Amino acid sequence: MKNSLTLARQPIMKRQDEILGYEFFYRDHEGKCSIDDPRHATSSVLVNLLNQIGIASSFGDSLAFINTDGPLLLTDIIRTLPKKKIIFELTSSMRHTAQIHESIRYYHSLGYRFALDNASFHPDYLEAFGPLFAYMEFAKFDATQTDNDQFRYLPNPFGKMTLIAYKIEFYEMLDAYEQFGFHYFQGFYFAKSHLIVQNRIDPKYADVLSLFSLLQTETSVEDIYNAFLRESALSLQLIQFLTSTHPEYIYGATSIKEMIERMGKNTLSQWLLLIIYSKSGTMSMDEANQCSAFAQARVVLMLRLLHLASPNPSSKLIEDARLIALLSLLEEIMNIPLENTLREINPSSNVKDALVNTSGLLGRIYAAVLKLEIGDAVTAALLLKTYGVHQDQLV
């Protein structure tokens, strides 16, 4: 698998440059928009946004508009996602069933938000989507495909929705749609799609499947946690996902195990299912991912040095060491500023001091890990000399 992810976004905005939100578009590992499975594309966009890039870096206080396929709405995955921040766009090609319509009504009653993508006055479209109009907050129209006379002379069934015109390419189009009552616009006249490229960190697909299967049994939190110990990439994605969607589960948590306990087995299962869907159709699941390998290596090295510097360390010391390694990786691999991470998680003073000041036993170990990663065993040994660690133990 490639070691970087690519995601495209384009702003949706008012004429006065006020941004309502961004529409996010699927791109494959080569940066191309080649969609064979809509469920895979939607899940991939969500995983990239919430597990890897994070809300703060991708759309902040704005909204995220994401094309959504019908079958995904039949799962409980939606309930794990932030209801106020994401607008689920229903594509005009969506298959209509009674179950999908009922699911939209149900999620709307919980406060989830929906939009019509590529809305139309065509009788077939109105017949298919009309029963859902009461649950739609936005209607998006393709400015290059819509007959403007429809807004002048036909009854407007979309009147209660906020209207968005997309593919606005020049001023005259903007002016015309503004006169028709449109409040927001999207297109090259304002901004082209912008590619977000970032390191990707992926767990092994087989391990995600195995953990999902484990959660369908009467398994203990300890067994679930042990699976996370083998996959540091999954732990990093969990931290990023909870920071983006459920900050209450992560604030003040002292370990990944505590985050899992707060999250609960059902939410954890649905999160894993989202990851599984995001991988469907991808053939190279178990190719080595350099960032994931680096993350696991740092955690292992951190714990190895801890046992050298402090024989028989307490379980709390071990958990603090693992957390220090993981939180440091959020900045180095996923471009999350350390100060943001510490503010969102609020770890113990031992963890903060180690990361910020490299002070105390764990801080010295962390500093030594950084030196060893660049091949400087001499300095690493000097950092740990007080704790009886010698250079020959580090090579």
- Express each pLDDT in 355-368 by its tens digit: 999 999 999 999 99
Percent of the chain at pLDDT above 70? 95
Task: Tell me, yes or no, whether 157 and 294 share the same domain.
Answer: no
- pLDDT of 87 higher than 70: yes
Nearest to 19 by CA among 9, 27, 29, 28: 9
Task: Tell me, yes or no, whether 142 and 53 share the same domain.
Answer: yes
Task: Tell me, yes or no, whether 52 and 82 share the same domain.
Answer: yes
What's the pLDDT score for residue 163?
Answer: 94
> Which residues on neighbouring strands pair with residue 199, listed in sequence order?
4
What's the pLDDT score for residue 287?
Answer: 57
The overall average pLDDT reported for the chain is 90
Task: State the residue for tokens 């929906």.
Answer: 114
What's the pLDDT score for residue 283?
Answer: 45
- pLDDT of 28 higher than 90: no
What is the identity of the amino acid at 280? S
Task: Tell me, yes or no, whether 35 and 146 share the same domain.
Answer: yes
CATH code (residue 151): 3.20.20.450
Task: Tell me, yes or no, whether 79 and 214 share the same domain.
Answer: no
Q: Give me the mean pLDDT over the 209-226 stretch.
A: 93
What's the pLDDT score for residue 220?
Answer: 93
Q: Give the separation between CA 13 and CA 28, rounded to whole angstroms.
A: 26
The last residue of one of the domains, among 148, 177, 198, is 198
Per-residue pLDDT band at 5 (split at 50, 70, 90) = confident
Task: Tell me, yes or no, whether 110 and 220 share the same domain.
Answer: no
Count of domains forming the chain: 2
Task: Tell me, yes or no, whether 72 and 168 share the same domain.
Answer: yes
What's the pLDDT score for residue 34?
Answer: 59
Q: Please, where are the H alpha helices in 246-289?
A: 247-250, 256-263, 265-279
Q: Which residues neighbour 344 within 8 Å (Cβ) at sequence distance 6 or greater? A: 243, 247, 250, 251
- pLDDT of 117 higher than 80: yes
Task: Tell me, yes or no, whether 30 and 134 share the same domain.
Answer: yes
Per-residue pLDDT band at 30 (split at 50, 70, 90) = low
What are the structure tokens assigned to 104, written together?
């939209």
Task: Tell me, yes or no, whether 215 and 162 share the same domain.
Answer: no
Element (H, E) at 211: helix 205-215
Q: Are 285 and 204 in contact (CB under 8 A)?
A: yes
Q: Give the separation between CA 349 and CA 319, rounded to whole angstroms.
A: 14
Task: Tell me, yes or no, whether 209 and 194 share the same domain.
Answer: no
Q: Give me the mean pLDDT over the 124-150 stretch.
A: 91
Q: How do residues 183-192 score in pLDDT, each as one tens digit? A: 899 999 988 8
Task: Count CB neighbours of 118 within 10 A.
Answer: 18
Task: Tell me, yes or no, whether 329 and 378 share the same domain.
Answer: yes
Q: How do residues 238-283 score in pLDDT, each as one tens digit? A: 999 999 999 999 999 999 999 999 999 999 999 999 999 987 544 4
Q: Give the separation between CA 371 and CA 380, rounded to whole angstroms.
A: 6
Q: Give the separation between CA 314 and CA 293, rounded to whole angstroms.
A: 26
The last residue of one of the domains, among 198, 218, 238, is 198
What is the identity of the amino acid at 330? L
Q: Which domain holds residue 163?
A: 4-198
Query: DSSP 3-state assignment of 89?
Result: strand
- pLDDT of 37 higher than 90: no
The last residue of one of the domains, among 149, 167, 198, is 198
Phi first, then psi, for residue 197 (nearest 5°) are: -120, 130
Phi first, then psi, for residue 116 (nearest 5°) are: -90, 125
Task: Tell me, yes or no, whether 247 and 109 share the same domain.
Answer: no
